[in-house]
Amino acid sequence: MVSLDDPAVRAAYADEPLPRMSFGDHLDELRSRLIKALLAVVLAVVALLPFKGPVQDIIVEPYRLQWRQGFQQWIEQLEQRQSAGSLDEEGLEFLAYCRKHRAAILAGTKEYTYLLKEKTGFPVPYSLFATGGIEDMFAFMWASLIFALVVASPVVIWQAWAFLAAGLYARERAVFYRYFPFMLALFAAGVLFGYYVALPYSLGFLIRLMDPAQVNAIFSVGQFLNLLLALTASMGLVFQLPLVMVALQRVGLVTHRAFVKNWRLTVLIIFVAAAIFTPPEPVSMLLMSLPMLLLYGLGLLLTRFGRRHEAAAVGVGT
């Protein structure tokens, strides 16, 4: 049993007095921190403006990933039809062109890629399209802002932390220092999973549902950017699940036993959340729910090791 009469426990829970600041002082501090953070973001945006090509290459890469996968499947279909003797003359021309230029097309070095649909017969265009004259530039500006936030994130995070840390005790600051690197690592892992796995496979599934004789698989750059941001951001947040479970345990709201006991309800909530935050098709839902289930398992493991904190919290509170 942990008692507050123990000098070691009192020392652990003792906090230094916080400096007093008036409401006006808080506003001045907030304004100063916001100006510095916004200045860093603006400078990052200006620095990125000359790099429209590389920025858009990063945006389009998940689309290209699914396009290359679909293109290789298209070649396999043509070869199977040729072996079965059901490929007509035009199909043979498509297959010959695909075989001749396969390496350059898959490597992204083939010129005149806007002609690939006509030359290869693959019904999915190699590039995104813009529905209006300014959609491409508008999407680029949004992407530049997001990239600028990433580039300027050390400054932005530091300014936000400097403002918040002034109102925290040393023990609370120590907790933040302990868990913040893991928050960043999990968020980055979720974003990368959404970028390289969830989005390409979701697009591929949607495209395979389309009949080229009735619906052309064409995606605008604005729509694709919105889907990219939604999936990567949601995956980044989803990957915080183990830390959320540990935090709930540490503050005494949920115990490890409760997490284990209610696993069926948790699994149901995971699938419902995946259905809400992903496009209305099963691949995206599974690609979000399966990592959440694994992360829930990791959270159970972490809270199992953290059960001693539950006992300590009960002892202090009694």
3-state SS string for the chain: CCCCCCHHHHHHHCCCCCCCCCHHHHHHHHHHHHHHHHHHHHHHHHHHCCCHHHHHHHHHHHHHHHHHHHHHHHHHHHHHHHHCCCCCHHHHHHHHHHHHHHHHHHHCCCCCHHHHHHHHCCCCCCCCECCCCCHHHHHHHHHHHHHHHHHCHHHHHHHHHHHHHCCCCHHHHHHHHHHHHHHHHHHHHHHHHHHHHHHHHHHHHHHHHCCCCCCCCCCEHHHHHHHHHHHHHHHHHHCCHHHHHHHHHHCCCCCHHHHHHCHHHHHHHHHHHHHHHCCCCHHHHHHHHHHHHHHHHHHHHHHHHCHHHHHHHHHHHC
Task: State how far the Cα of 288 lies from the Cα of 270, in Å rounded to an integer.
Answer: 9
Task: State how far the Cα of 310 lies from the Cα of 257, in Å rounded to an integer.
Answer: 11
Judge whether 4 lies within some domain.
no
| CA-CA-CA-CA torsion sign (96, 102, 103, 109) | positive
pLDDT value, residue 310: 61
Query: Is the pLDDT assigned to residue 228 strictly greater than 60?
Result: yes
Residue 102 near residue 193 (C-beta atoms within 8 A): no
Judge whether 166 lies within some domain.
yes
pLDDT value, residue 309: 62
Residue 93 near residue 101 (C-beta atoms within 8 A): no
Residue 299 near residue 259 (C-beta atoms within 8 A): yes
AA identity, residue 111: E
Using one digit for the tens of pLDDT, what is the confidence trace for 289-307?
888 888 888 888 888 887 7
Task: State how far the Cα of 104 lies from the Cα of 59, in Å rounded to an integer.
Answer: 21
Task: State how far the Cα of 201 lies from the Cα of 73, in Å rounded to an integer.
Answer: 14
Mean pLDDT of 126-144: 82
Using one digit for the tens of pLDDT, what is the confidence trace for 234-265?
888 888 888 888 888 877 778 888 888 888 88
User: Rg of the Cα trace of the chain?
Assistant: 26
Task: State how far the Cα of 253 lies from the Cα of 104, in Å rounded to an integer.
Answer: 57
Judge whether 256 lies within some domain.
yes
Query: Is the pLDDT assigned to residue 18 strictly greater than 70?
Result: no
Phi, then psi, of 129 in degrees rounded to 5 = -130, 160
Of the listed ranges 113-117, 239-243, 274-278, the least confidently predicted one is 274-278
pLDDT value, residue 279: 60
Task: State how far the Cα of 47 lies from the Cα of 39, in Å rounded to an integer.
Answer: 12
pLDDT value, residue 16: 54
Give me the helix-helix angle, 282-305 and 241-250, nearest 10°: 40
pLDDT value, residue 253: 79
Mean pLDDT of 263-292: 77
Judge whether 19 lies within some domain.
no
Judge whether 11 lies within some domain.
no
Judge whether 159 lies within some domain.
yes
pLDDT value, residue 291: 84
Of the listed ranges 66-80, 169-183, 268-282, the least confidently predicted one is 268-282
Which comes out higher in pLDDT, residue 58 or 283? 58
Judge whether 71 lies within some domain.
yes
Which comes out higher in pLDDT, residue 37 or 287? 37
pLDDT value, residue 76: 92
Task: State how far the Cα of 270 lies from the Cα of 232, in Å rounded to an integer.
Answer: 17
Judge whether 23 lies within some domain.
no
Domain extent, residue 119, equals: 28-209+217-317
Q: Report the number of distinct structural domains present in the chain.
A: 1
220 strand-pairing partners: 129
- As given in the structure block, the two tokens for residue 5 are 């009469």
Which comes out higher in pLDDT, residue 94 or 219? 94
